[in-house]
Amino acid sequence: MNCFEFKLDPLELGQEQIFENVGYTTEALKLLERSRGFLLPSGPKTLGGEKRVTPAMRQECRQLCQKWVRLVGETILAEFPSYDILGSFHVFNLDPKARRDASDCLVQDSAATALARLAKHCNVDPAALTAELEDHRPIALQLAAECRMDNFSAWKEAIARSQSRKTVRQNHPCQSLKEVLICYGALQSSSTSAVERLFSQVQNHVPHDRAHMLAQHLKSEVKLLAMEQGMASSMDLIDLARAHWAANYGTPRRNHQPRLDKGVAKKRSAETEAAFLAKRRKAADVKELVPLEKVLEDAGGAVNPKELSLQKTRQYLHKAHAYLEEALLEGEVPEHLVEVAEALKTIQEANDKQRQAKASRQTRLFQPTKPSLRGKSIWLQKESWMVQAGGYKYVHEPRFASVFVVASPEIVPERINWLVSIQGGSLVSPDFLSSHCSSGWAFEYQPATSVRRHIFIDPVSCFVGFQSAAFQIQICLI
Tally Cβ neighbours within 10 Å of residue 306: 7
pLDDT band at 3 (very low <50, low <70, confident <90, very high): very low
Lowest-pLDDT range, 125-139, 140-154, 183-197, 390-404?
183-197
Give the helix/strand (H/E) hosting 393.
strand 393-394
> How distant, in Å, are the alpha carbons of 254, 259, 267 from that of 263?
18, 9, 12
Q: What is the mean pLDDT of residues 412-428?
A: 89
Separation of alpha carbons 383 and 402, rounded Å = 17
CA–chain centroid gap for 441, Å, is 43
Query: Which of 76-85, 197-206, 461-470 shows the highest mean pLDDT?
Result: 76-85
Q: List C-alpha distances in Å: 307 to 60, 64, 70, 79, 303.
A: 21, 15, 11, 14, 8
The secondary structure element, H or E, covering residue 428 is: strand 425-428
Strand 43-47 and strand 290-291: pairing?
A: unpaired
- pLDDT, residue 374, reads 82
Question: Which range has highest mean pLDDT (78-82, 179-183, 419-423, 455-459)?
Answer: 179-183
298 CB-side CA count, 13 A: 15
Q: How many CB atoms lie within 10 A of CB 412?
A: 18
- pLDDT tens-place string over residues 252-309: 666 556 666 566 666 666 678 888 888 888 877 766 777 777 777 777 667 888 988 9
Give CA–CA dist 141/138, Å, rounded: 5
pLDDT digits (tens, 9 = 90+) for 410-419: 888 888 988 8
Tell me: pLDDT of 365 over 80: no
Contact 178, 157 (CB under 8 A): no
Task: Give pLDDT, residue 221.
Answer: 79
In whole angstroms, give the CA distance from residue 180 to residue 117. Answer: 11
Amino acid at 381: Q
Q: Is the pLDDT of residue 176 over 80?
A: yes
Of 8-12, 219-223, 352-356, 364-368, least confident by mean pLDDT is 8-12
Report whether pLDDT(101) > 50: yes
- pLDDT at res. 100: 60
Least confident of 96-110, 160-174, 242-256: 96-110
249 pLDDT more than 80 = no
Instruction: Give, in order, the Cα–Cα distances in Å from 366 to each of 359, 362, 369.
Output: 10, 6, 10
Choose the weakest-confidence range: 225-229, 231-235, 459-463: 459-463
> Which contacts (CB < 8 Å, 24+ apart) does range 44-49 have?
none
Nearest Cα neighbor of 58 from 92, 20, 100 is 20
Question: For residues 236-258, b (16+ Cβ closer than 10 Å) or e, as one string?
Answer: eeeeeeeeeeeeeeeeeeeeeee
Lowest mean pLDDT among 172-176, 245-249, 286-290, 357-361: 286-290
Across the range 409-432, mean pLDDT stands at 89
pLDDT band at 222 (very low <50, low <70, confident <90, very high): confident
pLDDT value for 389: 66
User: How confident is the model over 457-461, as a mean pLDDT?
Assistant: 63
Q: What is the rounded distance in angstroms from the CA atom of residue 347 to the CA atom of residue 340? A: 11
Q: Are 105 and 3 in contact (CB under 8 A)?
A: no
Handedness of CA 174, 176, 180, 182 (dihedral sign): positive
Confidence band for 1, pLDDT divided at 50, 70 and 90:
very low
- Residue 435 pLDDT greater than 60, yes or no: yes
Indicate the average pLDDT of the chain: 81
pLDDT of residue 31: 87
Q: Where are the domains of the chain?
A: 5-81+273-303, 86-190, 196-249, 377-477
* Range name among 161-165, 249-253, 371-375, 435-439 with the lowest pLDDT average: 249-253
